[in-house]
Structure 1
Amino acid sequence: MAGLEHYNMTTNRYKYFRWTPRTAKVTFMFVGVVPTLFGILAYSTEGKWNLRAKRRGDVLTEY
């Protein structure tokens, strides 16, 4: 019975949402900073690792 009220709040979260400085920071982090960091990491390691058909003892880096 106690979980029913929590479920109701979860399904109607958009009705109770407010933009506060904390929610703005969290949103900015997940929308802007995290994808940017993943993009930089992916771009910087592009083509450096070849994991295809490697055996034990083989070198993973291409250069």
Structure 2
Amino acid sequence: MQPTFRSMAADKYGILRADPAIIKWANMNANRHKYFRWTRRTAWITFAYVVLVPGLLGTAGYMTEGKWNMRGKRRGDMISDF
């Protein structure tokens, strides 16, 4: 008789047991849109990620456009053009 391999989460039939906490989390995650509400906190987080962060990154990129040239530089050369 050959010994059968069973993992720690398997029952006597070799099928993995379902963890109720993981199932509850998966259902909540799949139905998150049903329970969402606009609050001051969610509005601020949405504004920050949709407007504020891209605006700051775009402004920083626009302000530093063309200030540094990394191509063909050697040790001791200045990277700023002006």
Please give the TM-score of this superposition, normalised by the length of structure 1.
0.85
Structure 2: 5+ residue stretches without partners: 1-18
Residues 15-49 of structure 1, C-alpha deviation per residue, up to 9 Å, x if partnerless?
11110111011111111111111111000000001
Partner of 1:43: 62
5 Å matches for 1:1-63?
1=19, 2-63=21-82
Higher CA-based Rg = 2
In the alignment, the residues of structure 2 paired with residue 7 and residue 56 of structure 1 have an alpha-carbon distance, to the nearest angstrom, of 54
- Structure 1 residues 7 and 54: CA distance shift in structure 2, 3 A: farther
In the alignment, the residues of structure 2 paired with residue 51 and residue 11 of structure 1 have an alpha-carbon distance, to the nearest angstrom, of 47
Q: Percent identity?
A: 54
RMSD over aligned Cα, in angstroms?
A: 1.2
In the alignment, the residues of structure 1 paired with residue 72 and residue 26 of structure 2 have an alpha-carbon distance, to the nearest angstrom, of 49
More helix per residue:
1
Report the secondary structure of 1:29's partner residue. helix
